[in-house]
């Protein structure tokens, strides 16, 4: 087997992705991007990490989404993956909530009452 065939540059950040035990890594340890490999039925596009999934037993997997065709797949976290990048992917939804963060306080207060979202707050409002 030709060792150099397994050493590729990351198409996303340009970093050299070293082969481990003669096996090509399935994602870049630096930016966590992967290639939607054509030999696996993919389109050849870049797959970027969009989230993290914690399996039973506490094992982490990265959810990758293809920029070209939108297909998603799971890749296992590997030794040497950039922990800062992994955590930033994992916390991304929390830093960009789909609602105004100041509403959280109001929601918590409302739900703290009877454990359901009620309207007493609104009635007192005006």
Shortest Å distance, C-beta 54 to Zn ion: 23
Rounded to an integer, what distance in angstroms lies between the CA atom of residue 46 and that of residue 16? 15
Rounded to an integer, what distance in angstroms lies between the CA atom of residue 105 and that of residue 100? 10
Per CB under 5 A, 43 contacts Zn ion: yes
Shortest Å distance, C-beta 81 to Zn ion: 11
CB nearer to Zn ion: pick between 61 and 73:
73
Let me know: does 77 contact 60? Beta carbons within 8 Å: yes
CB nearer to Zn ion: pick between 30 and 86:
30
Rounded to an integer, what distance in angstroms lies between the CA atom of residue 75 and that of residue 47? 11
Among 7, 13, 74, 104, binds Zn ion (CB under 5 A): 13
Shortest Å distance, C-beta 38 to Zn ion: 9
Q: Provide the β-strand partners of residue 20.
A: 23
Number of Cβ atoms within 10 Å of the Cβ of 16: 11
Give me the residues that bind Zn ion (CB under 5 A), please: 10, 12-13, 15, 28, 30-31, 33, 36, 42-43, 45, 66, 68-69, 71
């Amino acid at each position: 087997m030709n060792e150099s065939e397994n050493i590729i540059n990351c198409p996303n950040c340009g970093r050299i992705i070293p082969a481990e035990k003669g096996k090509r890594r399935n994602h870049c340890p630096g930016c966590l991007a992967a290639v939607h490999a054509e030999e696996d039925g993919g389109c050849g596009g870049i797959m970027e990490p969009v989230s993290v999934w914690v399996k039973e037993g506490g094992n982490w997997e990265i959810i990758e989404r293809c920029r070209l065709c939108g297909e998603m797949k799971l890749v296992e976290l590997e030794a040497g993956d950039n922990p800062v990048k992994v955590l930033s992917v994992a916390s991304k939804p929390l830093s960009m909530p789909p609602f105004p963060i100041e509403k959280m306080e109001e929601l918590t207060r409302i739900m703290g009452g009877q454990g359901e979202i009620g309207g007493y707050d609104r009635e007192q409002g005006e």
